[in-house]
Structure 1
């Protein structure tokens, strides 16, 4: 599929699109998505996490600058980025970015949200063995809750690149991987045991449409976790959709198949009245 699709009807007066990355991928990993959504007529932005340097090189060199940031701090950071905008944005998040996108949507500061392989919200009880193994490099040491953590190429290959040739996984690691704070992972892991967890999402709030995308081969956020998150909305009087990409892993936003994922999101937005469908 070409990198720049044919959009016969540019978006007129559409909300801006804010991209939110998750742990271990840099904000700049959204650069190709910003180009694609820009071609579709959307204005886009992809802020860094608090303490994250703009470049991958600098983020690796200053890992401790992100240490200690949790879900509340990251969510507040993105809410601050939304505040100057002249209208509510569409928020598109991957992994922990998908959890934060749901929180922002429930707070009614976003027009719509897409959560791609989202980290589990409070109330999701699925805990597959693959997820335990993927999270062990962080959760295996309680001190990591106060640190920034760097994944090894092997850990990245298992958690992100398990559907890829190892050469592609290693290339993605070299190009996009950065250290990230361990605290959000501990907060999500303990969410069902702590009242007032920062991973809580008001699933009955009145707000705009939500799409949850699950990767059928994901190790970091297995499809059963994404599906369980969507089920948390089953009593909500709101627009909540779920799509499974059966053969995709956690790298789906950055690997060779990312254009198909982006076009799936663009088509869903068009169905909800935000722009025109992609011309395939």
Structure 2
């Protein structure tokens, strides 16, 4: 449990990972944010073991878990803090961060390469190709899926040398449930979709970050997500890293992204 003493000048920061990366992939971010004075936590997803090896060995423990269950799981992780955290999420974690912010249980949110929310209609070819290993088989909605190194290299590591992509795959990749991907992909055809986010509600500031060469969540999708907030009477900022792919939170350039997030938080008044 992070230090949430009333004497702390800043709220805690909760990191939320997306599909196919373990909670431990935030370790360096936690160290950096702690050095900047922020208490931090990075909970596992429901069904994910604290150990990456154990998660890989028990892939079925995550089978069938969807967006609502994941959101509720992180809301439960917030409750004992007795203080609204800043939520930083990547990929599907970015969608969860937006849902927690809209539910007014977060003080601010950063959504990095966020999975598309309901209402985003942009579907680039690269995204279709990246998601096809899962969406190509409807039975995967009830399964936990492990990416191959080739699929990881296309979806996450396309801006990296193959040896770095393979190293990230070996170090951080885990099996993940297929259901959230189906829920997001068909959100615009499902009234009451769990991928819905109330973009007009009053709440804290939001930053959406896009990767200009991302195959899994192309920058046009991140930009379209930000546009969903254009009528909101709240702070909604957008930032793009033109040469970065979906691995931007874990690859050799992760620190540049973390520094920009810290700078944005400081500009919004969140500083130690």
Q: Secondary structure at the match of 1:93?
A: strand
Other-structure match for 2:251: 255
Other-structure match for 2:157: 161
Residue by residue over 1:190-247, the C-alpha shift from the partner in whole angstroms, topping out at 9 and shown as x without a partner, is 0000000000000001000000000000000000000000000000000000000000
Q: Within 1, Cα distance between the matches of 2:150 and 2:74?
A: 31
How many Å apart are 1:86 and its aligned residue? 2.1
Residue by residue over 1:81-113, the C-alpha shift from the partner in whole angstroms, topping out at 9 and shown as x without a partner, is 001112100000000000000000000000000
Other-structure match for 1:197: 193
How many Å apart are 1:172 and its aligned residue? 0.1
How many Å apart are 1:12 and its aligned residue? 4.9
Other-structure match for 1:242: 238
Q: Secondary structure at the match of 1:124?
A: coil
Q: Within 2, Cα distance between the matches of 1:133 and 1:117?
A: 17
Other-structure match for 1:3: none
> TM-score w.r.t. structure 2 length?
0.97
Other-structure match for 1:44: 40
Contact 1:123 1:232 in 2 (8 A): yes
Other-structure match for 2:261: 265
How many Å apart are 1:13 and its aligned residue? 1.6
How many Å apart are 1:183 and its aligned residue? 0.1
Contact 2:9 2:271 in 1 (8 A): no
Q: Within 1, Cα distance between the matches of 2:181 and 2:267?
A: 33
Q: Within 1, Cα distance between the matches of 2:8 and 2:137?
A: 50
> TM-score w.r.t. structure 1 length?
0.94
- Does residue 149 (structure 1) correspond to residue 145 (structure 2)? The answer is yes
Q: Secondary structure at the match of 1:115?
A: strand
Match 1:225 to one of 217, 221, 224: 221
TM superposition outliers: structure 1 runs of 4+ over 2 Å: none
Q: Within 2, Cα distance between the matches of 1:136 and 1:261?
A: 28
Q: Secondary structure at the match of 1:83?
A: helix
Other-structure match for 1:115: 111
How many Å apart are 1:55 and its aligned residue? 1.1
Residue-pair matches, total? 266
- Does residue 80 (structure 1) correspond to residue 76 (structure 2)? The answer is yes
Q: Within 1, Cα distance between the matches of 2:93 and 2:201?
A: 19
Q: Within 2, Cα distance between the matches of 1:86 and 1:67?
A: 31
Q: Secondary structure at the match of 2:80?
A: coil
Match 1:58 to one of 54, 59, 74: 54
Q: Within 1, Cα distance between the matches of 2:169 and 2:194?
A: 29
Contact 1:12 1:275 in 2 (8 A): no
Could you tell me which runs of 5 or more consecutive residues in structure 2 were left unpaired when the two chains were aligned: 1-6
Could you tell me which runs of 5 or more consecutive residues in structure 1 were left unpaired when the two chains were aligned: 1-10
Other-structure match for 1:7: none
Q: Within 1, Cα distance between the matches of 2:174 and 2:105?
A: 28
